[in-house]
A = this chain, B = another copy of it.
């Protein structure tokens, strides 16, 4: 019999595509086996479990977003950097909704520590360097930015802003304007 030439990485990559096409919750070992025209049990040589597969997709997504973030932040500062990083998340989620959903998967502490999660925190802190915030306020600001980015993208993806004026792009721009103004003018504790 001809072999399909599977390995863990190809499976995770195919799982990511499947997630984008059909939704992250449709990512199953069975569906992936169908996609490679292979029996289900065969995949268990490459992947420990269904959960393991999903975790792999999550790690891939975190990595890809971090790579885009680094590229976007290079040579930028201040509002420019803020807008660039914000767009990285939003664009990624729109291009890869399934992967984005995967990135929200809770990871066990060890896996999380080995993930690109730390890079994301560092990127947000890098953006804040363009503003004048000392600890602990800068941590509060990191959390605010994370919340807005994630919250907006999540609501937009869920269709929250789709069928009413003004369009989502306009709100997004104005929200970035507002965040920039807020960071330049952070209220005293």
Question: Footprint of B on A, CB under 8 Å?
Answer: 104, 106, 136-137, 139-141, 143-144, 146-152, 154-155, 158-161, 164-166, 170-171, 174-175, 177-178, 180-182, 185-187, 189
Contacts and interface: CB of A to CB of B under 8 A. Distances in A.
Q: What's the number of copies of this chain in the assembled complex?
A: 2
Contact of A147 (B141, B147, B181): B147
A140 B174 contact: yes
Nearest to A168: B143
B171 A177 contact: no
A181 B187 contact: yes
A136 B178 contact: no
A159 B106 contact: yes
**Shortest beta-carbon contacts, A-B, top 3:** A151-B151, A147-B151, A147-B152
A112 to B, nearest CB: 8
SS of A interface (majority): helix
A160 B107 CA distance: 11
Contact of A158 (B106, B159, B187): B106
B146 A149 contact: no
A146 to B, nearest CB: 6
A22 to B, nearest CB: 14
B187 A175 contact: no
